[in-house]
Each structure stands twice: as structure tokens, then as C-alpha cells.
Amino acid sequence: MSEQMPDTTGEHASGAVTIISGRQAWRDAAVELVGHAQLQLRVLSQELDRRIWSDPDLVEQLQTFALRSQRSELRILVNRPALAAQHGHRLVELARRLPSRIAIRELNEEHRGLTEEFSVADEQALLYKGRHDDLDAQWSAHAPLDARRLRRRFDQLWDESPPARELAILGL
């Protein structure tokens, strides 16, 4: 079900990839990825793990990105939005305040078996892991071929997915 990156040797067709390990490394790489983004950010997540996506520094970076330009666009696909909706979530709250810049959708029923998580910035930078519970992930600030492929995959999933109403209507 999950689509693997082309290899894990550290070199991909489009640039060097660094293997990172652990939640803190994922969060740090996500902050760096957002810093690279100029116009588009795409995030596919199982549940928007609050230890990462509700981190104040990361949410501040996301807000800065979203407000940088009228053309800034952050799209988030979540497999299990109910988990993100519990107990307040800084990124979800930000999305509710900036609905014209940040949109969240729930993965279509037929894609619920996906286990991968990834983020793509402007078809350049990417952060990827084949399973959401993997400790290791792949990070690259410059991998245009892989980033473009993942962005296309994301956009196809996005087009087939409904808005995450659960996140929009709860008083978060």
C-alpha cells in the first residue's frame, strides 16, 4: 500500500537524502522543510501527531509560511482526523483561523490503508517515512524529482478526499 522512495542509500535521482531517526528529528526536519517552502506545502499524516504538528515552533513556522504571500497554500491530508481533533491541536486551531490558506481533508475511504507519511515543499524539499510508526525517515532539502512525484501523488489523493468536517466543526 505504501509507496516507497526509490532507495535508501542516501542518494536519489534528484539529490542527497539524509536518514533521520526519532520524533525530535522529524519535528526538526519539518521545521526546516517549512522554512524552505515559498508557495506550497503538502502534508500527508495519519493523525497529525500533536508531539510534532502541535509543536509551538513548528506551528509558528507554518503560520509565517501561510501569511507570507496571498498565494501561499498549505494542504493537509489526515487519515484519522478524530485523533487530531481531541484535546486541542495548535495546527488545527491555526487552520480554523486561516481557512483560505490552510485546508485539511480526510483521506478518502478507499485510501485509508495507506501507512506512509510525507511532507513536500514547492516540489523541492521532502520528508518521508513508509509507515507512520517508523522511527527512521528520509529528509532532503533538494530532491526535485522525488518531491514532484510525491506532490503529484498527494494532489491525486487530495482531489479524491472530502474536507475533514470533524476538524472544522469542533470547537477546538
Domains in the chain, number: 1
Identify which has the larger pLDDT, 15 or 137. Answer: 137
Range of the domain at 83: 14-169
Question: Rg of the Cα trace of the chain?
Answer: 15
pLDDT band at 15 (very low <50, low <70, confident <90, very high): low
Q: Encode pLDDT of 99-137 as tens digits.
A: 999 999 999 999 988 999 999 999 999 999 998 888 899
Rounded CA-CA distance 16/139 in Å is 9
Q: Taking residues 30-49, what's their average pLDDT?
A: 95
Provide the percentage of residues in the chain whose pLDDT is more than 70: 86
Secondary element (H or E) of residue 74:
strand 73-78
Rounded CA-CA distance 116/35 in Å is 22
150 lies in a domain? yes
* pTM exceeding the 0.85 threshold for the entire prediction: yes
2 lies in a domain? no
158 lies in a domain? yes
7 lies in a domain? no
103 lies in a domain? yes
In this structure, the strands spanning 125-129 and 136-140 are: antiparallel
5 lies in a domain? no
3 lies in a domain? no
CATH of the domain at 161: 3.30.870.10
Q: Taking residues 39-55, what's their average pLDDT?
A: 93
Q: Angle, nearest 10°, between helix axes 90-97 and 56-68?
A: 20
Write the single-letter amino acid at 36: H
